[in-house]
Amino acid sequence: MYFYRDQYTKAMANEKAIREAQEKYGALLRKQLERVERLKAEGDWVDYGKLDKIIIGVCGGDGIGPYICASAQRVMEFLLRDEIKSGKVEVRVIDGLTIERRAAANKAIPDDVLAELKECHLILKGPTTTPKKGDEWPNIESANVAMRKELDLFANVRPVKVPELGIDWVFFRENTEGSYALGSDGIHVTEDLAIDFTVATKQGTERILRAGFDHAAKTGKNYVSVITKANVIKTTDGRFLDLAAEVAKDYPGVRWDDWFIDILSAKLIDPSRRSDYKVFVLPNLYGDIITDEAAQIQGGVGTAGSANIGKRYAMFEAIHGSAPRMVSEGRAQYADPSSMIKAVAMMMEHLGKAEEAERLEMALEVCVQFERKLVMTGRPNGATGNEFADYVMETIQRPDLRKAWEGYVKAAGKK
């Protein structure tokens, strides 16, 4: 008798939990469908060449962020010195994207900071601390993830190059959907059941695929690998793959294939296969994970830059975190700004300054991998970030830079 009553009570409680979860789920779906309408109405790419003035915001972020960002800002201002002088480019430092300010406002990005960001076109951003459950900070959403959503920075472009191994990859990671879209909106249905959601919209998926295929066509790489786990995640990844087949029809000159994320992770460390790959297009979470692996092959996450590109805004950042320990140990000035400087190269590329971008990339490789006149160790026995930035700027100006770089790459390849 009691047994039945207990079962009944439990069933009633479950039904109540389900109804509550359904309501939350309904609200999430409504929001996503509204988002789809906004995507359908989105305008075309902003042509920076046609703007009277390009505003670049600089946000230092947390931990070592302000240090490495300031070093990268010097390199950026050096490369844009003519545009800054003529007033074509204005650089604005935006404070306030710190974890202290975000925690006080209990928001991923405080409103006033967001308003300032929205006045810019391009943003150079240092790493920001992302609270995780159990931290001293309120469990607010990551500032990165929020900025990508707020500014609709849908393409996370992450190049990885190791010339001496023939590796020249570019990852086009979808940046506003997938498991991240509702990453802070999962539902604790009961104390025994938690559910998260993954989002794929037709519009959101198509535009990242197009960005990847466009890049492959424009650069003459003409080869795209689409990465999913569509054998298991059949609905969202299945759609990603179906849409890839559709989009590919518009690029008859671009060869494409598809791989599952697990085997691709293996192939990236297979010396006999990996240099075949060129351009990858993939959903958010797989892109997050695999780009760290790829960066490690290049020399570590500290060597990789990342561009977050939308049709109106673009944000350039390191792919690593804010390393608070370096600050508490008094070593922040020795933090390596390479990844932020690489992000500057990507910004130059995005601005159409291809030559500056290329020279900066070559200079970075010469300084970090080959010549190594100054070495960053993260400690006082190495160079400071600013000394390193000076070294990079000197190297950019070397008349024999290209020749020197080619020589180094050739010699390294023979080893």
Residue numbers of the site for Mg ion (CB under 5 A)? 288
**176 makes contact with ligand IPM (CB under 6 A):** no
Helices 354-365 and 401-414: crossing angle in degrees, nearest 10, is 50
Beta strands in 167-207 (DSSP E): 167-174, 187-190, 193-195
Determine if 288 is a binding residue for ligand IPM (CB under 6 A).
yes
At its nearest, how many Å lie between ligand IPM and the CB of residue 341? 17
**Under rule CB under 6 A, residue 145 binds ligand IPM:** yes
Instruction: Give the pair of three-digit tokens for residue 247.
Output: 């989009």
* Nearest one of 284, 241, 242, 239 to 259, comparing CA atoms: 241
Q: How far is CA 59 from the centre of its chain?
A: 15
CA distance 153 to 145: 10
Other CB atoms within 10 Å distance of the CB of residue 41? 7
Site for ligand IPM contains 226 (CB under 6 A): no
| Under 8 Å between Cβ of 197 and 185 | yes
- What does the alpha-carbon distance between residue 101 and residue 112 come to, in Å, rounded to a whole number? 11
How far apart are the C-alpha atoms of 47 and 290, rounded to whole Å? 31
Span 305-344, contacts to ligand IPM by CB under 6 A: 319
Q: Which is nearer to ligand IPM, 179 or 228 (CB)?
A: 179
* Binding segment (CB under 6 A) for ligand IPM, from list 75-83, 141-149, 344-352, 362-370: 141-149
Identify the residue among 71, 130, 303, 333 touching ligand IPM (CB under 6 A): 130
**Partner that binds at residue 294, options Mg ion, ligand IPM, none, CB closer than 5 to 8 Å by kind:** none
Residue 134, classed as helix, strand or coil, is coil
- The pair of three-digit structure tokens given for residue 265, joined into one six-digit string: 């992770």
Residue among 290, 281, 272 at smallest CA distance from 251: 281
Distance CA 84, CA 397 (A): 19
If the CB atoms of residues 130 and 205 are measured against ligand IPM, the closer one turns out to be: 130
Q: Which residues share a beta bridge with 91? A: 56
The residues near 44 (Cβ < 8 Å, ≥ 6 apart) are 311
Shortest reach from residue 164's CB to Mg ion, in Å: 26
Query: In the bound complex, which residue of the shown chain has the CB atom lying closest to Mg ion?
Result: 288
Rounded to the nearest whole angstrom, what is the least distance from the CB of residue 233 to ligand IPM in the complex?
Answer: 18
Smallest distance from ligand IPM to CB 288, Å: 4
Q: How far is the CB of 293 from ligand IPM (least distance, A)?
A: 12
Q: By CB neighbour count within 10 A (0-12 exposed, 13-18 middle, 19+ buried), where does 69 fall?
A: buried
Q: Return the number of the residue (145 or 281) whose C-beta is nearest Mg ion.
A: 145
Which of 142-150, 159-167, 262-270, 404-412 is the region at the interface with ligand IPM (rule: CB under 6 A)? 142-150
Q: Does 116 bind ligand IPM (CB under 6 A)?
A: no
Q: Which is nearer to ligand IPM, 125 or 278 (CB)?
A: 125
Q: Could you tell which of Mg ion, ligand IPM, none binds residue 198, using a CB distance below 5 to 8 A set by kind?
A: none
R_g of the chain, CA atoms, integer Å: 23
Specify the stretch interacting with ligand IPM by CB under 6 A; choose among 74-82, 88-96, 137-145, 207-215: 137-145
Q: Which stretch binds ligand IPM (CB under 6 A): 49-57, 139-147, 225-233, 378-386?
A: 139-147
Minimal distance in Å, beta carbon 144 to Mg ion? 9
Q: How many chain residues touch ligand IPM (CB under 6 A)?
A: 6
Which residue among 71, 73, 98, 144 contacts ligand IPM (CB under 6 A)? 144
Q: Which is nearer to ligand IPM, 61 or 110 (CB)?
A: 61
Q: Are strands 305-309 and 255-260 parallel, antiparallel or unpaired?
A: unpaired
Q: Which residue is nearest to ligand IPM (CB)?
A: 142
Q: Which is nearer to Mg ion, 144 or 333 (CB)?
A: 144
What is the H or E stretch that residue 259 is in?
strand 255-260
Residue 356 binds to ligand IPM (criterion: CB under 6 A):
no
Separation of alpha carbons 348 and 210, rounded Å: 22
Number of H helices and E strands in the chain, helices first, is 15, 12
Binding site for ligand IPM (CB under 6 A): 130, 142, 144-145, 288, 319
